Amino acid sequence: MPIQWHKTTCPYCGFGCGLMAGVEDGKIVEIKGMPGHPANDGMICTLPSNSVPVFYAEDRLTKPMIRRDGKRSHVSWEEAIAHVASRFKKIIETHGPGAIAIHSGATCMTEEYYLMNKLIKGCIGSNNIESSTRLCMASSAMGFISTIGADAPPACYADIEQADLFFIAGNNMAISVPALFARVARSKGKNGAKVIVVDPRRSETTGIADIHLQIRPGTDVALNNSIAHVLLKEGYVNEEKVEEYASGIKDLKELSEDCPPSRAAEITGCPEQLIIDAARMIGRSKAMLVFWFQGYNHSTQAVFKNNTLHNLWLLTNNFCKPGAGPLSITGECNALGCRWVGGLSHLLPGMRMVANPQHRQEVADFWGIPAEKLHPVPGRSIIDIVSGLHSGDVRALWVIAANPAASLPNTKWILEGLSKAELLVVQDIFHPTETTRLADVVLPAAQWCEKAGTYISSERRIELADKIIDPPGEAKPDCEILWLVARAMGFEKEFPYSSPEEVFGEFKQITSGRICDMSGVTYERLRGNTGIQLPCPDVNHPGTPRLFTDRYFPRADGRAALLPREYLPPKETINEIYPFVLITGRQQWHFNTGTRTKRIPYLHQRAPDNFVEIHPHDAAQLRIQNGDEVEVSSSRGTTKGFAQISGRVLQGNIFMPIHYGGAINNKDARLANLVTNNVCDIHSKQPEYKFSAVNLTKSLPC
């Protein structure tokens, strides 16, 4: 039988490439880019193109397991579901709903987030639900809310070909979003667009930069404020016009007065003239497209970095027109879907907030529950959930398609917390992962292509990733596991579903009238097609490429807010004992904690072990040579990797990839998070992964 090709959407990063999965004899045999797709037009990066082994890896989970007396053994689904439901109920009875928490990845499907939310917020009465979006885009979301009044990324990918300037900050898109980078590079080559890259590291992306501002880690706010200073001083800002669509210019002028480029040069370490040149380039641009990722968000000043970046496109009138605006790319494929369903502890479905009584009332009415059932105070952030496990205030954690034992900062503290859980349920496609190793109950899930559901990409494009093949063994789709557990807990009436399509049909009703309106989206419209950009209020609506084109922002006075935020240094400071700054990041062969990519031999062989990028000067001083094993230690722990001596990092900085937990293929002490800091931005609760004070030494031969 010839290969049959099915259209689907990529399950890795949040760019949302259209893919074609080739099936032969009921098995996926090849994955290709989809020609004509609005995101990638046939392009494909190494992660999905090599992903076939993920379906057939030996350690795929096929049967539920329960750990009793320290030993894990296979059980039937009936037993596993009954066990989980009764333990949850017992813990709620004894310790209250706040003792339960759910943590999911940001690659789950929209329908799954909806069920998790309905179960924990609507039925159990706890707001403790967190997805890895907290570790990824929480700060971008808060930045959007404070500056433009809603977590609604306004720009779209079609802007890439129309931009004359790309401002790329804290973002190595050449590695993390290759399809996007290819489009940006092509637009530069074809249209002569300029590129400014802000990154403490001379990353692969800086290769196409006209200006690379190699700032000291964590100093973006100082840089942005000084760019605003130049824009305002040198007449690049039409203040009267700005006041029509944005408030706060007077306050911003006052602040930027104190932030001349000379001062920013001292703080950031960048030459003053380069900052001025960059500012002028921004001032002259007619269509500036702005990208920023985790270099911004993994910081204790993350939200303020976002705010001060937004100031720049607002000041220069670079928004919501072709080629211009802020375009945040999410790290995981359905992070935006997660945010819009309310997959964080302070959110409710349909871009609603826990803290807003009217929103609680609307959701309660929709679910047919009394409004008092929805707890009025935001729940715990993921780091607070772990604190709660330590203190005993949180007793049970249900992890769904996430790997907190490797993904969260300060691993030792995290592992201690997870081990204290009275009940740790982990739902995954593989065992072992760093987290399933600690689980009391392991539930085998179906993955991408083995179940149906929707993803929402970074340009608000909702696409259907349909079921193409059957899951292995007894593995079940996450939706089904969720509704089975919910029903076993006594919520039969609330969880009457028999398909994800039904779940979507219910969820989309609560988005009606919101910016994420999906009322006009049906599985039928999505099937085989390349998705619809939200909002899409009715079935004949073609979707919305750009938001706020009427220049009306959803804030009280209809204007966006220019926010004058002050620069503060990162939480930790280097000292005699820990004289280096560690920044962490990704590399092209692995994705996040590597649960999938380490099981792809082609990828894993290319990057089998962790490395530490060290500036030649520092290496010489410590007598470290290329390939030496080195130890990186902080007040929280120690990790190891092989020295890679490179002028890409600043002197005094070191860089490590994040992927190397110890569950498979590796030794335990290779994970960067063993040394990273669990201190968070107070506004977004996002940890400062990208600034840890560490020491660096050559490992002694054993």
Question: CB-wise, 307 or 676, nearer to other proteins?
Answer: 307
Nearest-approach distance from CB 357 to other proteins, in angstroms? 6
CB 166 within 8 Å of CB 189 = no
Task: By CB under 8 A, tell whether 147 contacts other proteins.
Answer: yes
Question: CB-wise, 356 or 626, nearer to other proteins?
Answer: 356
Give dist(CA 155, CA 325) in Å, integer.
6
- Contact pick of 21, 196, 255, 674 for other proteins (by CB under 8 A): 255
Task: By CB under 8 A, tell whether 521 contacts other proteins.
Answer: no
Give dist(CA 287, CA 324) in Å, integer.
5
- Contact pick of 493, 542, 576, 682 for other proteins (by CB under 8 A): 682
Nearest-approach distance from CB 512 to other proteins, in angstroms? 18
Question: CB-wise, 342 or 453, nearer to other proteins?
Answer: 342
Please give the full DSSP string across 677-693, using - where no structure is assigned. Answer: ---B-TTT--B-TT-EE
Please, which residues bridge with residue 399 across strands?
A: 103, 426
- Contact pick of 134, 359, 431, 451 for other proteins (by CB under 8 A): 359
Task: By CB under 8 A, tell whether 370 contacts other proteins.
Answer: no
- Burial status of residue 571 (CB atoms within 10 A of its CB: 0-12, 13-18, 19 or more): middle
Nearest-approach distance from CB 330 to other proteins, in angstroms? 22
Task: By CB under 8 A, tell whether 98 contacts other proteins.
Answer: no
- Contact pick of 238, 356, 391, 549 for other proteins (by CB under 8 A): 356
Does the bond joining 535 to the residue before it have cis omega, within 30 degrees of 0? yes
Question: CB-wise, 408 or 563, nearer to other proteins?
Answer: 563
Contact window for other proteins (CB under 8 A) among 18-26, 84-92, 145-153, 283-291: 145-153
Phi, psi of 127 (to 5 degrees): -95, 10
Task: By CB under 8 A, tell whether 392 contacts other proteins.
Answer: no
Total residues interacting with other proteins, rule: CB under 8 A: 27
Q: Residue 438: what residue type? A: L
Coil, helix or strand at residue 283: helix
Contact window for other proteins (CB under 8 A) among 89-97, 349-357, 414-422, 443-451: 349-357
Task: By CB under 8 A, tell whether 349 contacts other proteins.
Answer: no
Q: Supply 370's token pair.
A: 């009394």
CB 639 within 8 Å of CB 671 = yes
Site for other proteins in 299-338 (CB under 8 A): 303-304, 307
- Contact pick of 415, 563, 663, 675 for other proteins (by CB under 8 A): 563
Nearest-approach distance from CB 231 to other proteins, in angstroms? 18
Q: Supply 478's token pair.
A: 């996450």
Q: Residue 161: what residue type? A: E
Phi, psi of 155 (to 5 degrees): -90, 180
- Contact pick of 103, 188, 346, 670 for other proteins (by CB under 8 A): 346
Question: CB-wise, 596 or 683, nearer to other proteins?
Answer: 683
Task: By CB under 8 A, tell whether 251 contacts other proteins.
Answer: yes
Contact window for other proteins (CB under 8 A) among 184-192, 373-381, 460-468, 476-484: 373-381
Question: CB-wise, 362 or 450, nearer to other proteins?
Answer: 362
Task: By CB under 8 A, tell whether 273 contacts other proteins.
Answer: no
Q: Residue 632: what residue type? A: V
- The H-or-E segment that residue 104 falls in is strand 100-104
Give dist(CA 393, CA 162) in Å, integer.
52
Nearest-approach distance from CB 641 to other proteins, in angstroms? 35
Give dist(CA 109, CA 122) in Å, integer.
19
CB 465 within 8 Å of CB 11 = yes
Task: By CB under 8 A, tell whether 561 contacts other proteins.
Answer: yes
CB atoms within 10 A of CB 124: 25
Question: CB-wise, 380 or 586, nearer to other proteins?
Answer: 380
Task: By CB under 8 A, tell whether 376 contacts other proteins.
Answer: yes
Residues contacting 699, CB < 8 A, separation 6+: 628, 629, 630, 631, 640
Q: Supply 342's token pair.
A: 């309310």
Instruction: Give which of 382, 309, 374 is closest to 562, Cα–Cα.
Output: 309
Per-residue HEC secondary structure of 440-507 comes to: CEEEEECCCCCCCEEEECCCCEEEEECCCCCCCCCCECHHHHHHHHHHHCCCCCCCCCCCHHHHHHHH
Question: CB-wise, 139 or 334, nearer to other proteins?
Answer: 139
Question: CB-wise, 233 or 555, nearer to other proteins?
Answer: 555
Question: CB-wise, 78 or 566, nearer to other proteins?
Answer: 566
Nearest-approach distance from CB 561 to other proteins, in angstroms? 6
Nearest-approach distance from CB 570 to other proteins, in angstroms? 15
Contact window for other proteins (CB under 8 A) among 27-35, 139-147, 433-441, 528-536: 139-147
Please, which residues bridge with residue 442 across strands?
A: 65, 426
Please, which residues bridge with residue 326 across strands?
A: 290
Q: Supply 44's token pair.
A: 């494909």
Instruction: Give which of 482, 515, 502, 503 is closest to 350, Cα–Cα.
Output: 515
Task: By CB under 8 A, tell whether 565 contacts other proteins.
Answer: yes
- Contact pick of 86, 234, 266, 355 for other proteins (by CB under 8 A): 355
Task: By CB under 8 A, tell whether 121 contacts other proteins.
Answer: no
Residues of this chain that bind other proteins (CB under 8 A) = 142, 145-147, 251, 255, 303-304, 307, 346, 353, 355-359, 376-378, 556, 561, 563-566, 682-683
